Chains A and B, each alone.
Chain A
């Protein structure tokens, strides 16, 4: 009998060759290099995730990624690239910039960091074997995830950020990811934020495409939040229209902590944003939300896994997706309530609005409950604009397109209103209006 060898796609073969060729050049040795090997072994064994893998059922990367683009070098014109970015420019923030995944010191406010915040570029932290890197990769429900493993194997740069105990940062930290180039490239930036007990911090994260070539981004932000911490996070995906963009937020939340993470997605031909969150201490609360706007043949996936491992925690998820043209939206949200997690209060809602006959939404909310004294609910809706409301608005004189725009804005507004920072909220609302204005 012939030996059974898995059939690899051209992209998978290229990925394996690339790792073998690069692994000795990527920053870090010892434990870190071993970590890269381990992560890559997962990828080599399973290949690119495809529709037969439950977690990736609606987002078939094997089919979408035909060629594995080479890992981006630090661009020669990194500062100029960053200067093309515009996201969150009005927000009062300290900026950390990344061009094609590489930290750009000359466009980062390292000299103006608020007291209590320390930032080390990740390439340097990896090279020196920074002790705090031991905090990476601790979220159990994220283990084995493809995008996270791929980033762990290839992570080339990023930032290691420490917010010292008790720090109350008055300025936001803006993680400004800018991608652009003349030929295809891949990125694997990683940002690790350690928020020590009692500290509070606001993090804005933007991803913008400013070049001409299609690229494959795969960013990971990890937050390890101690007890009594408050983290306010807002995120924008304005990736280039032909980009494939994977992103992951992995969080461990201590006791009496509060995390809010809200975002808007307008970019990418295919995008997937994943949130893995583990409650590690009691009496903590989580709010996750987002507004996704899709058209043409875009595909955007939001995948959440919220792990209630301890009692007395609350989680709220509210995701809105508006889909026009032949675009496809995906929402997969899983709330796990472990046997010990009594008094968990979890509510998850995903609502989609289809603006065309050819738009598609795949909604998969799931509850896995192993405790008996909990309150959990989830809902998923998918519908069209209400014709009676449209009639009411048009009968008052609004042209149909304006009436539709008003209703879509109201629909998305419910999620965007939750953004605390006024400048960021206004920008996200304006981007939603701009998106609506571009409807033919």
Chain B
């Protein structure tokens, strides 16, 4: 589903990704772990299409198509979804208005009919309930005044409603207490599907107890330096990232 070959990325003349290779198959949950500053968020932004990063070399293939020349919305229409590490607040745009706009924009891009209001409401209610998001939150400005945990749940709500095929979760666990973490993990687990792949980025092993990955990759200094099964996460938890910092430096 996702294949990244020799990705080299700079920002403001500073090299962040250094010939990164990564493959995630359909149905797979892949985890990326790594120390702060190793380039995990950069990788997620570059896949989603953030402009300010300069891609010097390499390719990102989604179902065999290089998406690097596509606009972020075109990537979204092909099923790429990024749950942000720091979701943004948009005052003056109610969460409901926003959800309807993004759902219909993606449907339009795929030449599907717009959702009727009752159908839209039904879907939002059902998805919100599973994530313990109350109706009052949906009426507020998007993410405005939401706690860190509420913002993360709102990201998962959007993921559930958009039904993307390739989901990136950037440190969705940060700032969550254990109850919120379980709700979010449950939200993700129900979306696991043979046709859908996940890239779960995290600094800590904790999240991976709840979203059990098929593969674990260790990232350091803008590269994948080691790959393995879920046991690799436990090993990292015990030994920390010190080895990898040195190895990469």
Contacts and interface: CB of A to CB of B under 8 A. Distances in A.
B92 A394 contact: no
A400 interface: yes
A387 B49 CA distance: 13
B51 A398 contact: no
Contact of B102 (A398, A400, A414): A398
Contacts of A387: 51-52
B17 to A, nearest CB: 18
B84 A392 contact: yes
A309 B185 CA distance: 62
Looking at A395, A397, A411, which has the most chain B CB atoms within 10 Å of its CB?
A: A397
Interface stretch (A211-219, A253-261, A401-409): A401-409
A397 B88 contact: no
A413 interface: yes
A413 B92 contact: yes
Given A397-B73, A402-B101, A392 B88 contact: yes
A394 B71 CA distance: 8
A396 B162 contact: yes
Interface string B63-106: 00000000111011100011010011011110000100110011
Contact of B105 (A388, A402, A409): A402
Contacts of B92: 409-411, 413-414
Interface in A366-421: 387-389, 391-400, 402-403, 406-407, 409-411, 413-414
Contacts of A395: 48-50, 72-73, 75-76, 82
B105 A410 contact: no
Contact of B88 (A388, A399, A402, A414): A388
Given A397-B73, A397-B77, A398-B101, A410 B91 contact: yes
B44 to A, nearest CB: 10
Contact of B51 (A391, A396, A397, A411): A391
B90 A399 contact: no
A335 to B, nearest CB: 25
B71 A410 contact: no
B248 interface: no
B42 interface: no
A397 B90 contact: no
Given A402-B105, A406-B101, A407-B90, A397 B50 contact: no
Contacts of A399: 71, 73, 105
Given A399-B105, A402-B105, A406-B101, A394 B73 contact: yes
B109 interface: yes
A410 B102 contact: no
Contacts, number: 73
Contacts of B49: 391, 394-395
A236 to B, nearest CB: 21
Contacts of A413: 92
B38 interface: no
B50 A391 contact: yes
B71 A397 contact: no
B73 A398 contact: yes
B22 to A, nearest CB: 19
B158 interface: yes
Nearest to B48: A395
Nearest to B99: A396
A413 B105 CA distance: 22
Contacts of A391: 48-51, 72
A403 B102 CA distance: 10
A407 B91 CA distance: 9
A407 B92 CA distance: 8
Interface in B100-156: 101-102, 105-106, 109, 141
Contacts of B106: 397
A406 to B, nearest CB: 6
A150 to B, nearest CB: 38
B169 to A, nearest CB: 14
A400 B71 contact: yes
Interface in B35-49: 48-49
A397 B109 contact: yes
B72 A389 contact: no
Contacts of A406: 90, 93, 98, 101
Contacts of A414: 91-92
A276 B225 CA distance: 69
Contacts of A400: 71, 73
A394 B50 CA distance: 9
Interface in B7-52: 48-52
A410 B94 CA distance: 9
Contacts of B73: 394-400, 403
A392 B44 CA distance: 13
A388 B76 CA distance: 16
A414 B91 CA distance: 9
Q: Which of A394, A396, A398, A410 has most B Cβ within 10 Å?
A: A396
Given A388-B88, A397-B162, 5 more contacts: A389-B90, A394-B72, A395-B49, A396-B158, A410-B90
8 contacts: A387-B52, A389-B88, A394-B72, A396-B76, A396-B81, A396-B105, A397-B105, A399-B71
Interface of A: 387-389, 391-400, 402-403, 406-407, 409-411, 413-414
The 6 A-B pairs of least Cβ separation, nearest first, read A410-B92, A397-B76, A394-B72, A397-B106, A396-B102, A395-B72
